[in-house]
Amino acid sequence: MDFYFPTELGEQLAFCSAAFTALAGFIMMFAPGQTFRLLGLQAQEGRPEGFGEGRSMGGFYLGFGLSAIMLAQDWIYMALGASFAMAAFARIISILSDKGSNIVNYLLLVVQIALAALPLLYVFGFIQT
């Protein structure tokens, strides 16, 4: 079984979105403390559940990204893009409702929009070559 890397530009961009998701998940899973610091979060002293949730979330991202890479199917890319689109929508709600108007939220919003757009543009045929 050979490693599959797409030949079309659109699928390569969707693949890169999946690869970035898997990489972020790997980092979140094995370095939750640094991830929390980057996001401005803090696990409560003496309560390991916070780190467990961070690792679990990282495992989900890693699994989703690797599934998209290994299966390389339009429906998987669509699910990846739709998931990041909903995450971006939730971040917009947070910025507007939770007084979360800060640079980190805006940067993460741009990242989530890009991670949503790349696979969705490919799946819906806007990027072909």
**C-beta atoms surrounding 68 within 10 Å:** 24
pLDDT in tens, 93-120: 999 999 888 998 999 999 999 999 999 9
Rounded mean pLDDT of the chain?
Answer: 92
Predicted TM-score of the model (pTM): 0.90
Tell me the per-residue pLDDT of 12-41, one tens digit each, with 9 for 90 and over.
999 999 999 999 999 999 999 899 888 888
Quick one: which of 75, 72, 61 has its CA closest to 20? 61
Asked whether residue 1 carries a pLDDT value surpassing 70, the answer given is: no
* Residue range 55-86, pLDDT digits in tens: 999 999 999 999 999 999 999 999 999 999 99
Transcribe 13-49 into DSSP letters. HHHHHHHHHHHHHHHHHH-HHHHHHHHT--PPTT-TH
CB 70 within 8 A of CB 22: no
| Extents of the domains making up the chain | 9-124
Sorted by sequence, the CB contacts under 8 Å of residue 64 that are 6+ apart come out as 18, 21, 22, 25, 80, 83
- Taking phi over 0 as left and psi of -120 to 50 as alpha, with beta for the rest, 72 belongs to left
